[in-house]
Amino acid sequence: MNSPRFVSLLVEGTIDELVLRKTIATYTALTVATCYGKKGVADIKKRIANYHAAAVAKPHPLFICLIDLDAAECAVQLRQELLPNPISNSFIFRIAVTEVESWLLADREGIAKFIGAPVNKVPESPDKCLNPKTEIVNLARKYAKEKLKRDLVPAERSSAPVGKGYSTQIIRFIQEQWTPEAAEENSPSFAKTIKALRRLSE
């Protein structure tokens, strides 16, 4: 029981990885061994069955997989599409509703302070935002100071949904300001993930 328990992560990208790492460090005594994936959601969808099969064959280390719900209609259905039923106990599959940025918005005070927006302008139920990235970008467009705005908001005729420095700034926010305890209160999908992680630590 005293030896550290290892988990491996399977995520879409760096932002998801950092959110998961910070959450694990905040709520559990687990140690992250390796982070797999990081090549987008399509890649995870293609390969998740293989990772799951490995978890079935060998229950250690545990796997924690996080993907965004995105445009999928419902989390239960998405899970059924991707994984066999039942899912192995050593494979923790979590879906961020709507995407991991919802969990960032859920720390309303944190994100408001980061962008420089009034707290009451941050959505109260970020899980219900259809496009939380755009929500962050729009807040920045309206309230952020020049330099931050230039990083977060796409240029006028750009086809990119976010600005060129978006990842950099969001990584900085996660590492320096984002508080999982605050986010837990406003995002049911994040609260459920924390519950699942806590069970692992028991």
Partner 1 sequence: MKFTKIHLQNWKNFQEVEVDLPERAFLIGPNASGKSNFLDVFRFLRDISTPGGIQQAVQDRGGISKLRCLHARNPSDIVIRVDLADDQDHWSYSVVFSQQGKLPRQGAALVKKEVVIHNSEVVLNRPDKDDKDDERLLEQTALEQISRNRSFRPIVDHFQQVSYLHLVPQMIRGGKGMSSESNFPDVYGGRFLEIVASTTEAKRKRYLKKIEEVLKIAVPQLTALKLTTDKGGVPHLEATYEHWRAQGASQDESQFSDGTLRLIGLLWMLQDGAGLVLIEEPELSLHQAIVRQLAPFIHRAQTRSKTTRQAFISTHSVDLLSDPGIGAEEILLFDPTAAGTTITVGGAFQDLRDLMAQGLTAAEVALPRTHPADAAQMSLFAL
Nearer to partner 1, 46 or 195 (CB): 46
Residue 35 within binding range of partner 1, rule CB under 8 A: yes
Query: At which residue do the structure tokens 């705005």 appear?
Result: 149
How many residues of this chain interact with partner 1, rule: CB under 8 A?
25
Residues 172-201 that bind partner 1 (CB under 8 A): 172, 175
Nearer to partner 1, 37 or 127 (CB): 37
Taking alpha carbons only, the member of 103, 99, 101, 144 closest to residue 121 is 144
Do 35 and 92 touch, CB atoms closer than 8 A?
no
Cβ at position 168, least distance to partner 1 in Å: 4
Residue 50 within binding range of partner 1, rule CB under 8 A: yes
Do 64 and 40 touch, CB atoms closer than 8 A?
no
Residue 31 within binding range of partner 1, rule CB under 8 A: no
**Length of the chain in residues, anyone?**
202
Beta-carbon contacts of 111 under 8 Å, excluding residues fewer than 6 positions away, are 104, 105, 117, 122, 136, 139, 173, 178
Nearer to partner 1, 33 or 41 (CB): 33
Residue 58 within binding range of partner 1, rule CB under 8 A: yes
Q: Select from 25, 29, 53, 196 the one that contacts partner 1 (CB under 8 A).
A: 53
Name the token pair of 134: 């755009």
Residue 61 within binding range of partner 1, rule CB under 8 A: yes
